[in-house]
Structure 1
Amino acid sequence: MSAPTSALGRHLLVEYTGCDTAILADLERITAAMLDAARASGATIVTHSFHHFSPHGVSGAVIIAESHLAIHTWPEHHFAAVDFFSCGPVDMDRGLAVLHTAFKAAGETRMTLERGPLRAIHP
């Protein structure tokens, strides 16, 4: 799905609930899932960085030519928060579906924001 014509970009804030604890605590699995999601969306991966916290949780980001895909997990709460921001023609829904499956999420909620509304920039 491409960025809306009324804004510079589209930012999805996604909350995955009821996720598999072991997956959310696994740095390698989270990294792989995020890279797979970026590829599935058609984004151009530039670089990525992920970190495992002690005792648990993973944070990281995939920097894409179109912007970014970021995550923080709370395995002890079966919860992951994901931000997907794009100012280009990527299919965010396809990428987010990959994450839903990878995390074995029971639920998902989304909030969509238009970033850089063109009406504010060019009245």
Structure 2
Amino acid sequence: MNALGRHVLAEVYGCDFNILNDLKKVEEIMVNAALEAGAEVREFVFHKFSPQGVSGVVVISESHLAIHTWPELGYAAVDVFTCGDRVNPWDAANYVKEMFHAQHVEAKEIIRGTMEQAPDRAANL
């Protein structure tokens, strides 16, 4: 890999309200998504909002997974950022899609830290 990492940004639509609004369920799915992708989970924190919604992050040795849910819209914004070649962020994103019973997902991958451009970018800060 000529980059430091891969970052999958997923727009997850048509999800089950009850799953997206359940702190423990969202936490379990996100932690398991990391494990399904072969990542090493370090720690995690999740917060339940009132009247609805959950946000959280799973810190992995390879970087992180993050989520923000809008249960009333059946929508979740999911980020999976992995460094190195060992963990595939798409495995985690696909697991989340399946577990949320998503009807539609729009996702893209951003390559992070392309080393051939790093010195130029640092000079422009």
The bucket for the TM-score relative to the shorter chain is over 0.9
Bigger radius of gyration among the two: 2
Report the aligned-residue RMSD: 1.1
Quick one: which of 68, 72, 78 aligns to 2:68? 72
Structure 1 segment 39-58 matched on structure 2, within 5 A: 39-58=35-54
What are structure 1's unaligned runs of at least 5 residues? Answer: none
Partner of 2:24: 28
- 1:95 and 1:47 mapped to 2: Cα distance? 16
Q: How far did residue 122 of structure 1 move?
A: 5.6
- 2:88 and 2:109 mapped to 1: Cα distance? 14
Q: How far did residue 114 of structure 1 move?
A: 1.1
Q: TM-score, normalised by structure 2?
A: 0.91
- 2:111 and 2:75 mapped to 1: Cα distance? 25
Partner of 1:121: 118
- How many percent of aligned residue pairs carry the same amino acid? 45
Q: How far did residue 92 of structure 1 move?
A: 1.8
- 1:120 and 1:94 mapped to 2: Cα distance? 28
What are structure 2's unaligned runs of at least 5 residues? Answer: 121-125
Partner of 1:109: 106
Quick one: which of 84, 94, 102 aligns to 1:97? 94
Paired letter, 1:94: D
